[in-house]
Amino acid sequence: MLESLKQAYLPDMNFPVRSIDKETCSRCGRCFETCPCGGFSWTKGEVPVPIGFGGFKEACINCGNCMAVCPTHAISMNGSLAIREGRYKTFLDRKMQPPNPFGQETPDYASFEKDLTDMERAIFTRRSNRLFKDKPVDKDLIHRILEAGRFAPSAGNGQPYRFIVITNQEVIHEMEDRSMVVLKLLKNAYLSTNGKKKLWKNVFFSAASFMMANKFDPRPMTAMEKADRNKGRMYFSAPCVILILKHTRGISNPDLDAGICTQNMVLAAHALGLGTCIVSLNMVPLSYPIMAGFRKKIGIKPPFQAVTSIAVGHPKGKIDGIVARDTPPVTWID
């Protein structure tokens, strides 16, 4: 337990190593823009540079989206993110692998894509989209996305959700700005400067993460830093945001129902050629008393509570694509 506490705040991590081929890089900066962690620095016209900050040797959660959006395939990644010890310990023996539904020795997506169902293709190629065109999404399309959510399975068919669709940019920005006040405080306190861990931070965040591991995981702190650098734009200037609310007295586990519903919407949007990114960064601040006025303004009231949200828009350039993923252990009981 003592070891776990000591390792709770910014635990030792293995980082994937990202490299950019200077010869083929088009210097477009799409990797810099799309990275959810602010893991690149970039000057216009130059080759982006993978970076770390605040205690992260490389600010990278291994999503592979930089590779998926790169028009010249100039980026490569080696290894996976793994936390060595403590509260957030991950597996160290995982192998990163692209989709391999047919169990090939060396999976090659192009060779089996034709054998996939449309659903599998949608699942494997969907990526979180953080680059949007400045173009509204037709209400008809938003309606189709909501319909996909409405037909999600739920415990006891309780359907414990409500949706709020926001296309008014001022309201989206107000939500971002108000949430950012809290997130900025949290990530500034959490991230270390000059790689040095302050004693009070160690004690406070170790205790906090021991009690609420999922609220103090180091990884989202990088997304908060990215949003902060991006003037708080955690919805990436998407033209539409869908909030998914749960009925807090829903049967069994309404958060799970809301998550399944969200994924239905995301896949439907992807199949319609739209880009989406699930955004939960602001869900904690949104539940705080300081955002009571905003909640009232947009119509969130008990017993409903926001679970997550989706940024929706038309993707700017090619976003979706195949990435590698960890291979979680599977136990077969025949």
Nearer to ligand FMN, 265 or 277 (CB): 277
- How many residues belong to the site for ligand FMN (CB under 6 A)? 13
Nearer to ligand FMN, 267 or 278 (CB): 278
CB of 197 to ligand FMN, least distance (A): 25
Task: Describe the crossing of helices 254-271 and 139-150 by its angle, rounded to 10 degrees.
Answer: 140
* Element housing 124 (H / E): helix 118-125
- Of 68, 62, 32, nearest to 49 (Cα)? 32
> Using CB under 6 A, which of 127, 233, 270, 316 touches ligand FMN?
127
Nearer to ligand FMN, 137 or 307 (CB): 307
Segment contacting ligand FMN (CB under 6 A): 48-56, 59-67, 74-82, 93-101?
59-67
Amino acid at 231: K
User: Is residue 39 within the footprint of ligand FMN (CB under 6 A)?
Assistant: no
> Using CB under 6 A, which of 13, 25, 61, 244 touches ligand FMN?
61
Could you say which residues in the range 251-290 bind ligand FMN, by CB under 6 A? 277-281
CA separation for the pair 47, 163 (Å, rounded) = 41
- The residues near 302 (Cβ < 8 Å, ≥ 6 apart) are 248
Nearer to ligand FMN, 192 or 280 (CB): 280
CB of 45 to ligand FMN, least distance (A): 26
Task: Describe the crossing of helices 199-211 and 169-190 by its angle, rounded to 10 degrees.
Answer: 120
CB of 15 to ligand FMN, least distance (A): 15
User: Is residue 16 within the footprint of ligand FMN (CB under 6 A)?
Assistant: no
Nearer to ligand FMN, 129 or 206 (CB): 129
- Of 223, 217, 227, nearest to 10 (Cα)? 217
CA separation for the pair 46, 26 (Å, rounded) = 9
CB of 69 to ligand FMN, least distance (A): 10
User: Is residue 128 within the footprint of ligand FMN (CB under 6 A)?
Assistant: yes
- The residues near 194 (Cβ < 8 Å, ≥ 6 apart) are none
CB of 165 to ligand FMN, least distance (A): 18
CA separation for the pair 324, 90 (Å, rounded) = 17
The CA-atom distances, in angstroms, between 130 and each of 66, 178, 208, 234, 288 are 11, 21, 30, 9, 26
The pattern of x and - marking residues 220 through 239 that bind ligand FMN according to CB under 6 A reads ---x----------------
> Using CB under 6 A, which of 36, 48, 86, 313 touches ligand FMN?
36
Nearer to ligand FMN, 127 or 187 (CB): 127
User: Is residue 308 within the footprint of ligand FMN (CB under 6 A)?
Assistant: yes
Query: Can you say whether the dihedral through the CA atoms of 319, 325, 331, 334 is positive or negative?
Result: positive
User: Is residue 63 within the footprint of ligand FMN (CB under 6 A)?
Assistant: yes
For the record, the structure tokens of 4 come out as: 């776990």
CB of 292 to ligand FMN, least distance (A): 22
Tally Cβ neighbours within 10 Å of residue 155: 15
Contact residues: ligand FMN, CB under 6 A = 36, 61, 63, 65, 127-128, 223, 277-281, 308
